[in-house]
Amino acid sequence: MRFTPKNYSDEVEDRIQQLKREGMRLPQRHLLRTEEQLAGIRESAKINTALLDCIAEHIHEGMSTAEIDHLVYAFTTDHGAIPAPFLYEGFPKSVCTSINDVVCHGIPSPTEFLRSGDIVNVDVSTIYKGYFSDASRMFLIGEVSPEMRRLVEVTRECRDIGVQMAQPWTRLGDIGAAIQEHAEKNGYSVVRDLCGHGVGIKFHEEPDVEHFGKRGTGMMIVPGMTFTIEPMINMGRYDVFIDEADGWTVCTEDGLPSAQWESMILITETGNEVLTC
């Protein structure tokens, strides 16, 4: 007897079985969400998106990144949820704030202030009733140079292209290849050392979703999967390093700016559903 999840049609199950016989790399069954799980994930995602909207309303020049952290913690807990980054593998804050040449995982600080000309990525993740969601946005502070604005715009385009490529019965490599092509066409590079990931029942799950690669390679994308697409695009080289002082902050090796946009998506039988943005 075949096991058919409640959120699957027989046609999808038949397709999975055929691909399995052909030796395709497929996600494990526990990564394919049930309707009950999706209901919880969607509720978490609503809070996560509302939180980013709240940050967009309040972020401003002169604000400390610690103030952003306080805002995130208060908003999240006021909605009956938990900030997923807080104490995750020892991370000390509720949000990641990454400015200019910081690629990701910047730690909020009361002595770090947003200045005119900065670009900052605010990455928020939410646990609501045991279900996880994740997203980040870029914010432009004051008078930002045309070069920095273009980096932010192209990075958002890379994210959007990745989402468009994430279709059922295609391959994860198709997503990475499309993002890499767009970034490099515009003179930028794609960070190799970090990637998107499955999310929903845990903060970080399989699969890894790389933002570079070759078409027709990698795991098959199957209805029921939930994962992030979060390209980190550098103005200069793609090389990065982790700040030894805190063990978290990832910076560009050449000191040039980096940008990131992140969305969480659900793969459906006919396309995908953007859960966070």
Q: Is residue 110 part of a domain?
A: yes
Q: Is residue 17 part of a domain?
A: no
- Enclosing domain of residue 100: 32-276
CATH of the domain at 188: 3.90.230.10
Q: Residue range 3-8: average pLDDT?
A: 51
The answer, yes or no, to whether residue 98 has pLDDT greater than 80, is yes
Cα distance between residue 67 and residue 80, in whole Å: 20
Q: Is residue 8 part of a domain?
A: no
Which whole-number Å values give the CA distances from 24 to 52, 215, 217, 275, in the listed order? 38, 15, 10, 27
Counted domains in the chain:
1
Q: Are 132 and 203 in contact (CB under 8 A)?
A: yes
Q: Is residue 56 part of a domain?
A: yes
DSSP readout, 137-156? Answer: EEEE-SS--HHHHHHHHHHH
Instruction: State the virtual CA torsion across 195, 202, 59, 273 in degrees, nearest 10.
Output: 80
Confidence of residue 10 (pLDDT cuts 50, 70, 90): confident
Q: Is residue 52 part of a domain?
A: yes
Q: Are 199 and 132 in contact (CB under 8 A)?
A: yes
The answer, yes or no, to whether residue 269 has pLDDT greater than 90, is yes
Mean pLDDT of the chain: 96
pLDDT in tens, 138-149: 999 999 999 999
Confidence of residue 8 (pLDDT cuts 50, 70, 90): low
pLDDT in tens, 171-203: 999 999 999 999 999 999 999 999 999 999 999
What pTM does this model have?
A: 0.94
Q: Is residue 60 part of a domain?
A: yes
Q: Is residue 24 part of a domain?
A: no
Q: Is residue 152 part of a domain?
A: yes
Q: Which of 134, 30, 124, 6 is nearest to 72 (CA)?
A: 124
188 secondary structure, DSSP code: -
Q: Which of 55, 64, 54 is nearest to 108 (CA)?
A: 64
Instruction: State the virtual CA torsion across 243, 207, 160, 122 in degrees, nearest 10.
Output: -30
Q: Residue range 212-222: average pLDDT?
A: 97
Q: Residue range 97-125: average pLDDT?
A: 98
267: enclosing H helix or E strand: strand 263-267
Residue 78 burial class via C-beta count within 10 angstroms: exposed 0-12, middle 13-18, buried 19 and up? exposed
The whole-number pLDDT of residue 2 equals 43
Confidence of residue 4 (pLDDT cuts 50, 70, 90): very low
Q: Which runs of consecutive H residues, i.e. helices, occur in the chain?
A: 10-21, 35-58, 65-78, 146-165, 172-185
253 secondary structure, DSSP code: T
Tell me how many degrees the CA angle 110-194-100 measures, rounded to the nearest 5.
40
The answer, yes or no, to whether residue 7 has pLDDT greater than 60, is no
